Structure 1
């Protein structure tokens, strides 16, 4: 039976890139850009070409912050921007105050770029690094509880595991970490835009998210940072430049004209997430692209998107089980599902990799991912997919495996 949500969304025509594929089921690697974002970028360039911008902060930056805040359930002032995920994540990590004799807790299935950042942070701060081990692709609160103690100053992890799509119990981990005085820092790139996330309810202190996957910004290079306003003062970036500080009381325009200003005298420290941004001129074209895509998702509604993606995942699991495949990191509770499903056919790495290669050549976009002892064919549908895509995938997989 077809899902009402899939019929209701009906957004395929908004994504011209779909014409290149028999089925595009690879959003966890790279999302597709809607026409609305392309049009917003064209308008941006047209206005730039004739120098029609008045105040880019008001016309681009603030609207982008409003859309992101709406999507993740925070205040506008708790949002800043980055270049994809790693840039923002690095800035958050470099701003965390270490604790003498302290430790950092992470997970063994972490995305390599993030794990390397955490590793170098622990080395820089001479901190012990404690790694929670997965159990058959899943993580359990009790395993975090064993490693988080009064000397832990940061618990850092991806909210959705990139390899198998397991969604970590963020709220429960946050409660343990906060009881013991630790910050909770999250990489939300495989989460935000695909399923609902309210950062306040989950107790996330800081988060970095790139636009290139579920936020439909592809190769644009956009991203954002979230920092809880109660945590901003605890963070100390290694260096801050002019726009990381608060605007002078007389306003920037007047301040720039003052003859008697001392360029070595710092302004008041920022009390918003902008404390962690570039500190100078911003890449407004990236911000505008992200604004447009997030607005597109907000107009659909994240609750509807989640239901749509969940219905597709349910269909994938049904087909995989029918064919005798294993769903990695599987949990029965659908409220704990991400939009990523990774399956193991039992035929081994070489045959599965070959099947993925052939399918990709024939226009079926999926990925193969593995780490820390597990791996399989990763399927990641989004709003532009429907049940027909799932049917085509498993028909082709049956042929090739």
Structure 2
């Protein structure tokens, strides 16, 4: 097995372990925070809080990983996430929750930015979508299994044990990273030396953003797409457990429904990536994804039984798979001649902006027109966004021709 394939398999296994753990934690966090919050808006702010601090670290972490090494940055992120899980177990008020989520957000950025950069570095030219698709499939498999386990854990053990589970699993993943990951780089700096150079030489934030947007209009387009995926993802993860519980279903059923929001993406993400690599139909994939996801979420807002909740969640997930894998492949090709960590940091920051805005917007809408209304509005938003995508059709198709 060559080094590239070994790195992909190892990083895919690690991201599976992490997403399994974090989906247990996030499902529990939604229930835990919902019980304390006095309004949906406050709930949305708390649920978006970790990603605000992840956003602040994503850009410098990209440059840090370039200097310090991707493997060590991934392991450091997992150790910090494990620590945040143990801290969450002892949280009893909003002030404590705030500071623990700060810790979570900072270290989450270390893992996700360095992990994706390592996968992109390992991707051979012409097979970017396959490698990214394989990585996102492994990530999604964790998100498929985790919510169901999280729902059962909340139902059986209450709010504390799922946080401990998260801490223990992340600790295990950190040791897996140390043992199995291959960095793919030569000389590396010490942590504090790399941190100093990121601040002094890389001109943190400025150089990364400048390099990302030096690609041209495509970088702005892809950045906006990534913001949209972040809004979609965190809105679902924050609001779905409360919505299903309001509909009268158990926590276990809520976990199953949440799994259906991810299962088709996990099952078909790699195959979709290969199909897009072969056909270069990126514009079609983006439009199809928006329409499919939009109708799925819109009809989900009217569902009343577990079957229809699962059906429309799966429909939305199919659309999201086409949309997400397509834009990931575009970004992968865009960053071929740029520093991976710098590019990935800005890319991940765009997603984290969406992670912050999604639950906050959902909470505000839910306070005005209810939880079902919030899902309806998000579904309608996806459908309406097909119009500006059609408007920039030439940009996407020009890029298809260039990549073919």
Q: Same fold (TM over 0.5)?
A: no
**Which category describes the TM-score, using the shorter chain as reference length?**
under 0.3
Compare relative contact order (CA 8 Å, sep 6+) and give the higher one, 1 or 2. Answer: 2
After TM superposition, the score normalised by the length of structure 2 is 0.26
After TM superposition, the score normalised by the length of structure 1 is 0.26
Is the radius of gyration larger for structure 1 or structure 2? 1
> Going by fraction, where is strand more abundant, 1 or 2?
1
> Going by fraction, where is helix more abundant, 1 or 2?
2
